[in-house]
A and B are shown apart, each in its own frame.
Chain A
Amino acid sequence: MTEIVAMPPGIVASQAERRDQPVWRMLLARPTFVTGAVMLLFWIACAIFGTAIAPHNPLAQQLLATNHPPSAAHWFGTDQLGRDVFSRVIVGARSILIIAPLATVLGTVLGTALGLALGYLGGIVDLLASRLVEAVLALPAIVVIFLFVVALGVSTITQILVIGFIFTPLIARTVRSAVQVEGQLDYVPAARLLGERPGRMMFVEILPNVIPTVLVEFTVRLGYAIFAVATLAFLGFGVQLSTPNWGTDINANYVLLGAGYWWETLFPALAIASLIIAINLVADSTEQVLAG
């Protein structure tokens, strides 16, 4: 009993086939997803086990071995205080991988709820709120985040809250339009005819159908969040944890680029880039699989 739809024949067959497979198997069949996932898992492992993996103590200063270029002993060289850059890059994954995902989760949860409400209820509230969302979108996100963090003081919680709130309208807008598409389908009036209340309509009937959109939005936003956290750190508003921080390291060392000490800036920068690329690879392939 495969589904038979009135569509060009090739599409029928491939659709039926596509739907026979669980999502994770389709994801694993994509080289882009596997590449991204492996890179991402590497950084997650670094964030969790960083100090155990790192060959040196990232905080240990060797004042006799400052600004050493990459070598067998120090793969990524040492910085101006003689600390091992490789170890600092490994351990530096932690702070960014705490703040960015939590902020994105916050933004996704709030944004999804807001988007559901606006998309389903519609009317004047939707009209006003949507204008407000557009106004927020018109502001450059990173500047807004920067201003709030400066105003509220640098802390992990502030960064999570500020980035989360900034993402909320962005995610709400995407979810809202997905909800509006769902609202055109007949299962919505069918459920209303059973006397379902708006809360149930939104969270039980419609939400499961927009989850693919939410997932894609989450992965895309996660990349932006990492970029935002790293930028804040680079600008000197990074969270002062006891662990190293990529953005802070770049900030501390880029002035030495002119002196030829490129490794001190390049490797933390590459770390940020590879993490964002990893997330984008995962995001792209997830979107392609879920959108079919």
Chain B
Amino acid sequence: MSATAASAVPDPAAEPQAAVQVEHLDVSYRVRGHDRLALRDVSFTIGRNESYGLVGESGSGKSTAALALTRYLPRNGRVSAGSILIAGRDPLAMDAAELRQLRARSVSMVYQEPGKALNPGIRVGRQVAEVYELAGLGRAEAMERSAAMLSKVQISDPGQVMKRYPHQLSGGMAQRAVIAMALAAEPSLLILDEPTTALDATVEAEVLDLVAGLRDEFDTSLLFISHNLAVIAKMCDRVGVLYAGELIEEGPARQVFDQPRHPYTMGLLRCIPRQGQRKDHGRLDAIPGFLPPPGQTQAGCIFAPRCPIAEQRCRDAAPPAFDVGPGRSSRCYLHAATADLPRNTPVDVQLPSLAEAARPIVSIRNLSKTFTAHGEAVQALARVDLDIERGETLGLVGESGSGKTTLARTLLGLIPPDDSSIIELDGEPLGADLRQRRRSQLKALQIVFQNPDSALNRRHTVRRLISRPLTKLAGLTGSALAERLTDLVRSVRMETRHLPLRPRQLSGGLKQRVAIARAFGGGPRLVVCDEPTSALDVSVQAAILNLLADLQAKEQVTYLFISHDLGLVRYLADRIAVLYLGRVMELGPAERVFSGPHHPYTEALLSAVPSLDGLRTDRIRLTGEIPSAASPPTGCVFHTRCPRRLASGICESTEPPLAEVEPGHLMSCHIPIDQLTNLQSNKRMP
């Protein structure tokens, strides 16, 4: 390039130019006449064909950063300082036509909800083809290129898929179509904002592999935004950690996650159970306190109020970005001390004393549940047999649609099971419907829901929410009620000053504590925890898990712990049941289920989970989608996706029984256990 280098047209042949260069970026939202900073002094650079990750909790400003890059900020948002260059060009200085060109040609975005990114009224094929037509191709050629693009994103029958409407696609399939659209323009930068958060683990693994593969093929730079550290670790070369609008640490992904140099990054990593950590090894190290509200300004380091090693200077003046190694920076005065960060939470663990050889607290036999949808019978649960032992934590895992929640709801009596089903509590059969259950039986079974916003009546105060089970189920009044209420509030680590507040005045973590207090109010014997931490931020999640473990020891309750997060289940559960299409595939002690030999489905689930602890070499992948429960496959229901299906054809014809393969370890698989052990032994499991 000669003197025209300043011309607006970027030339790929020119000397390597950063795909994105952000300098001292401030973004503020104007709310009721006040400017609130959502991003403060954020600088980062994404090189050509580099994959850059932005990781942070809710309100950290990760999505704001992505929106600012393409000038998609909502009307009340604006870049109040700093500069952005995308391939050397400033989107802030562009006029409408140039901006349209930028969005159409150079930058593509993929969002969390594929269902919302596609127009529900237009066939998928037309939507993809539109991208090519905008680039100037004719209609026929555009359709042809679309089909080719869809097969690139591993959609096996593009012709069929193109004729469908978005609602006829599964989540994974729709996200592939969105990625196909994003890549159709051959953008120089692809922004992915939590692209797999709404997907199941097995589908997530496929989509991540797909993105990684396509990135090489298309020579595209990636900006990958996620709250999931493991996903970022897997996908990104370099990573920036955002906290409350500030980029507090930056560097090569492996280094940042292996040797963090900021107390927040360290704290986040310690919140996640890793390397097979279990509750009897010690409590998780939660970060105390809460994320600051959006736009809050304070003197000093933004993380200081929650930092265990903060000093006076941290509170006086915000730390600059320190250079802490090649390509690494940390906004912490004490970055050198991060490696020896003291624990926030004491390690000591109390474990429930398991009553030896007592009969199970809950015994489920032949539990089936058939829903009728559009005249079709859909079997959500099929002849499930399961015992829940007194005082244990039984983990329930499986993809969405596997029947986890249906199992919990029939057990609780919220939905009646099919007639032949038997659910017993302490050997006594439970009524199918709540109204047929005695008060003592109601008392015994309670639940903590996934989303406290939905589970707490937003018009009731905390006092009312927590004291209702005390009066209704425990029958307390007067001073006994007041005493137990205070006791309960303390035991979920809340204070009595929270009692007059309503849910909306509480943070997510506090709301979930209220929900937990309510579940424990009546003195339950079994508490169903239905994804109790998945709606919460990582730093809050650890505290809730610790609380659940402490309460279990104190109150001697049994947990049925439902989660899609295998790391959490491994941490908390004593035994694990793996569900697939409403059937128990595997049941056994947590360590046995995780270490193997395990059911091929369990194996696939485990290998789909991205890990922070280095990459696994060998992975088995599931292809295809979960079959519809309305017409489950013959024989073993997993055979359509099973990577270890037997050649003899028995898997297709006969459903294997749930048989004990070793003491206490049951599996529903035709493959003999020795053979499974051999097949799986050459792999290092997490």
Give the B-binding residues of A (Cβ under 8 A). 1-6, 8-14, 16-17, 19, 185-187, 189-196, 205, 208-209
Greatest chain A CB density within 10 A among B59, B63, B454, B522 is at: B59
Contacting residues of chain B (242-290) with chain A, CB-CB under 8 angstroms? 290
Q: Does B684 contact A (CB under 8 A)?
A: no
Contacts of A9 in B (CB 8 A): 29, 38, 59, 61, 63-64, 77, 294
Contacting pair B459 A4 (CB below 8 A): no
Complex Cα spacing A209 to B472, Å: 22
Give how many A-B residue pairs fall within 8 Å (CB-CB).
120
Please report the C-alpha to C-alpha distance between residue A141 and residue B441 in the assembled complex, in whole angstroms: 50
Q: At the interface, yes or no: B374 with Cβ under 8 Å from chain A?
A: no
The contact of A13 among B58, B73, B294, by CB within 8 Å, is B294
B295 within 8 A of A: yes
* A1 and B63 in contact, given A13-B294, A187-B454 (Cβ under 8 angstroms): no
Contact partners of B469 in chain A: CB under 8 A: 194
The 8 Å CB contact of A195, one of B64, B74, B434, B456, is: B434
What residue of chain B has the Cβ atom nearest to residue A185's Cβ? B454
- 10 A-B pairs within 8 Å (CB atoms) are namely A4-B290, A4-B291, A6-B535, A13-B36, A14-B29, A185-B455, A187-B456, A187-B458, A189-B412, A192-B414
Q: Which one of B450, B453, B459, B537 contacts A209 once the chains associate, using CB atoms below 8 Å?
A: B459
A9-B294, A10-B29, A193-B442 given; A19·B472 CB < 8 A: no
Q: Report B325 CB to chain A, min CB distance, Å.
A: 31
Chain B residues within an 8 Å CB radius of A191? 457, 468
Interchain CB contact under 8 A, A189 and B456:
no
Assess A187 versus B457: contact at CB under 8 Å? Given A4-B507, A13-B31, A193-B434: yes
**B537 in contact with A4 (CB, 8 Å):** yes
> Which residues of chain A come closer than 8 Å to B450, judged between CB atoms?
186
Min distance, Cβ A181 to any Cβ of chain B, angstroms: 11
Q: How large is the interface on B (under 10, 10 to 19, 20 to 34, 35 or more residues)?
A: 35 or more
A13 in contact with B295 given A1-B505, A4-B507, A190-B518 (CB within 8 Å): yes
How far is A2 from B77 in the complex, measured between Cα atoms in Å? Answer: 20
B490 at the interface (CB under 8 A from A): no
Residues of B within 8 A of A195 (CB): 434, 439, 442, 472-473
* Contact pick for B290, options A1, A17, A192, A193, CB 8 Å: A1
A106 CB to closest chain B CB (Å) equals 25
Interface code B389-430, partner A: CB below 8 Å = 1, 0 otherwise? 000000000000000000001001110000000000000000
In the docked arrangement, what's the CA distance between A14 and B294, Å? 10
List chain B residues, Cβ under 8 A from A11: 74
Write out, one digit per residue, whether chain B residues 194-216 have a CB within 8 A of any chain A CB (1) or not (0). 00000000000000000000000
Q: Which among B31, B76, B447, B469 has the greatest number of chain A C-beta atoms within 10 A? A: B31
CB distance from A18 to the nearest CB of B (A): 9
Does B449 count as interface, using CB distance less than 8 angstroms? yes
- B588 in contact (CB, < 8 A): no
Instruction: Tell whether B445 is near chain A: CB-to-CB under 8 Å.
Output: yes
B154 within 8 A of A: no
B521 to A, closest residue via Cβ = A194
Interchain CB contact (< 8 A) of A10 among B76, B413, B456, B505: B76
With A and B bound together, what is the CA distance between A246 and B486 in angstroms? 62
Give CA–CA (A11, B454) in the complex, Å: 19
Residue in B closest to A187 when the chains form the complex, CB atoms: B457
Q: Which chain B residue lies CB-closest to A197?
A: B435
Residues of B within 8 A of A3 (CB): 504-508
Nearest CB of chain A from residue B227's CB, rounded to whole Å:
8
Residues of B within 8 A of A2 (CB): 293-294, 507
- Taking CB atoms, residues of chain B closer than 8 Å to A6 are 58, 535
Q: Smallest CB–CB gap between A115 and chain B, Å?
A: 17
Query: Quick one: CB contact mask for B502-530 with A, threshold 8 Å, 1 for yes?
Result: 00111110100001001000100000000
Q: A12-B294, A190-B447, A195-B472 are in contact. Are A19 and B504 (CB under 8 A)?
A: yes
Docked CA distance A9–B409 (Å)? 34
Cα-based distance from A12 to B504 in the complex (angstroms): 12
